[in-house]
Amino acid sequence: MYIKTLGVVALTVAGLAACNQNRVQVSASGLRYQMHQQNEGARKPKVGEMVTVQLILKAKVNGKDSTLRDTHKEPTAPQFMLQVPTFKGSFEEGLAMMGKGDSATFFVKSDSLFTRAGQPAPPGFAKGGDIEFIVKLLNVQNEQEFQKAQIEFRDKQKAIDEKVIKDYMAKNNMVGAQRTTNGVYYVIKQAGVGPTPKKGDEVQVHYTGKLLDGKVFDSSLNNPRGGGQPLKFQIGTGSIIPGWDESIILFPKGTKATILIPSSLAYGQQGGPPTIPPNAVLLFDVDVVGFGPAPKQAPMMPGAPGQAVPGSEAPGGAGR
């Protein structure tokens, strides 16, 4: 009889806990939330630590339920640093309540969110409405843990990329390839003459960028933003993907070459959605049209557009 009573009590407590997890609660600051899954004793993030999440954003737009973003459909789960909450009832406040492995929904006032961002609500958002943040907290890392994990991943991916490049060159009979210090391979198709660019020079390059399956993701020859003109950029200043800085600086004017760039020197883990997958080795056919001292430019106002670089909104766009 006593054992049977204990069993009833245990089931009742479990049922109450499940109900409590999914009911809408309100924090001291007014943030409405539902906890779907809570792991007792799980590590909670602190301000300044890195979090990895899966996230769905929903809201009513023009009176209809709309999904604004679903990171499950993106190549990699978002990682970002937890910031101090910027307003009462913010998403950051909700994240700080969660532990690793927890899932929850937070109802953030859209008016507060857009006001804090310094912009009006887009058309269709009702005044006083909520944006639902449906979130799963996958991981929590301090700075040292995050950096260690990044280094370990890069080292592993570097070895993978090296093999991918060598296999591709063997399969496609790319003879005479040379390798830079950090693993960019290149084959000279037409040797240029004269000096090579110096750091800070403005270089003009025609290019066609491809994935290793042959799919073209960008080309200066038909880039509408560039009007079919060669791309101009300052070499060695970080305005271009690192694999370009490392290889183009070796080429005199008139050089035509094929370059194979490992993912760590291209677009890395994030890739360049929607055309460049995560951890993609990239191939570029390049033609160094010319180079010289970079023209002096007037200081740019904050927020002014910068120089385009290969790959960002390909085909036809560029950016790092």
Active-site positions read 207, 217-218, 241, 267, 284
- Give the DSSP letter string of 90-103: -HHHHHHH--TT-E
At 99, phi and psi to the nearest 5?
Answer: -115, 165
Q: Which helix (H) or strand (E) holds 310?
A: none
Q: Which helix (H) or strand (E) holds 111?
A: helix 110-116
How do strand 202-211 and strand 231-234 relate by DSSP bridges? Answer: antiparallel
Provide the b/e sequence for 116-137 (b: ≥16 CB within 10 Å).
eeeeebeeebeeeebbbbbbbb
Say how far apart CA 314 and CA 209 lie, in whole Å.
9
At 295, phi and psi to the nearest 5?
Answer: -65, 145
The count of other CB atoms within 10 Å of the CB of residue 107 is: 19
How do strand 178-179 and strand 103-109 relate by DSSP bridges? Answer: unpaired
Say how far apart CA 177 and CA 163 lie, in whole Å.
14
**Nearest in space to 188 (alpha carbons), one of 172, 177, 197:** 177
Burial class (CB in 10 A: 0-12, 13-18, 19+), 168: middle
At 68, phi and psi to the nearest 5?
Answer: -85, -30
Q: Which helix (H) or strand (E) holds 232?
A: strand 231-234
Q: What is the SS3 assignment for 285?
A: strand
| DSSP type of residue 74 | S
